[in-house]
Structure 1
């Protein structure tokens, strides 16, 4: 499934103040701020000066990943601008991060980043990283990989999720695989009909 939006994940921590200054310099028009304690992630939305693209700054406490989501016909110029201002992950840096992520906490952080990063179409190298994580000896890493793979939204995950649903030694992982694969199927089906 190819999304119309692009998610940009900074390599280093970026403060909300830095993002606000960048938006001001770029003359983005503030559209809305969403901040519901205990609710969805904190989000600021701007419209670019040409009124043909939107930029979302999302601070997602659940995934523990802060990122940009850019959408609209004029998104390519906004992506270029953000990349010129901040050091943003690309495929190569994500693959490198995956190979450096040794140990459960680092692997889980990498999977959350990877799940947010995957807004483009299917990528076999990135899929391979998820495939490895879904076979990790630690159930908690497999569960994180399932949730992060759902963010990518690739139909190619379904056979693997079905296999995990049937044969993973951990009951919670099997249950997660079932629920996530069912939700992904519904999402993919809804995308075909929209």
Structure 2
């Protein structure tokens, strides 16, 4: 899972429509003349996504992640020059990459044809959600967390983990204490710990 660390700032993530998109993203980077700086294999057993990165400008890279566990691919810009600089490069970085916009990510959670598709849509929305709190996503994740299907509730916890929105702390507490499935209770507890503890 992609997190900012070591003084490196990350833009929001953008979810690709196509799961197997490594070749098309690499071709785009090559057309732009961006040299590859990272080529790391993934580890499905440990939940570590494959990662490729290309230098867009000094101090900034376009990063591609392919998560074989969640079956989703996404891109983001990382920069050692601050988040504002990373965000400024987003229009250039995703100019020719086929990604979902906010409206599509939100609507796909409601429009999914079956429970499996909805669970996947919830996770994708969590990965692609804005960095700042957004009521549209919040309402959908809350609804998913209360769904009677365990796979969708688990997907909601995944999505909440990716957003890192503190507004979910109380909800995570409730899930960790009251979800009917032990595995989901424990998962929510781990995410809550990553959030820094119980909500107020």
Could you state the TM-score of these two structures normalised by the residue count of structure 1?
0.84
Aligned-residue offset at 1:150: 0.6
Q: SS of the counterpart of 1:85? A: coil
Distance 1:99 1:83 in 2: 26
Partner of 1:44: 52
Which stretches of structure 1, 4 residues or more, deviate above 6 A after TM superposition? none
Distance 1:165 1:66 in 2: 28
What 5-or-longer segments of structure 1 have no aligned partner?
A: 187-194
Which residue, out of 13, 26, 31, partners 1:25?
31
Q: SS of the counterpart of 1:46? A: strand
Tell whether the 8 Å contact from 1:60 to 1:66 is kept in structure 2 after alignment. yes
Deviations 1:41-93 (A, max 9, x none): 21111111x31421111111122111112122543454212433133212111
Give the 3 Å change call, closer, same or farther, for CA 135–75 of structure 1 in structure 2: same
Which residue, out of 50, 53, 57, partners 2:60?
53
Partner of 1:111: 122
Tell whether the 8 Å contact from 1:5 to 1:119 is kept in structure 2 after alignment. no
Distance 2:183 2:18 in 1: 33
Q: SS of the counterpart of 1:84? A: coil
- Tell whether 2:53 aligns with 1:10: no
Tell whether the 8 Å contact from 2:125 to 2:159 is kept in structure 1 after alignment. yes
Deviations 1:4-32 (A, max 9, x none): 42211122345322111100111112112
Partner of 2:159: 148
CA root-mean-square deviation: 2.2
Q: How many residues get paired?
A: 184
Distance 1:167 1:55 in 2: 40
Which residue, out of 47, 57, 63, partners 2:70?
63
Q: SS of the counterpart of 1:6? A: coil
Which residue, out of 165, 171, 174, partners 2:176?
165
Deviations 1:108-135 (A, max 9, x none): 1102211210251111110111000000
Which residue, out of 73, 91, 115, partners 2:102?
91
Tell whether the 8 Å contact from 2:102 to 2:129 is kept in structure 1 after alignment. no
Aligned-residue offset at 1:146: 0.8
Bigger shift: 71-80 or 89-98? 71-80
Could you state the TM-score of these two structures normalised by the residue count of structure 2?
0.82
Which residue, out of 40, 52, 63, partners 1:34?
40
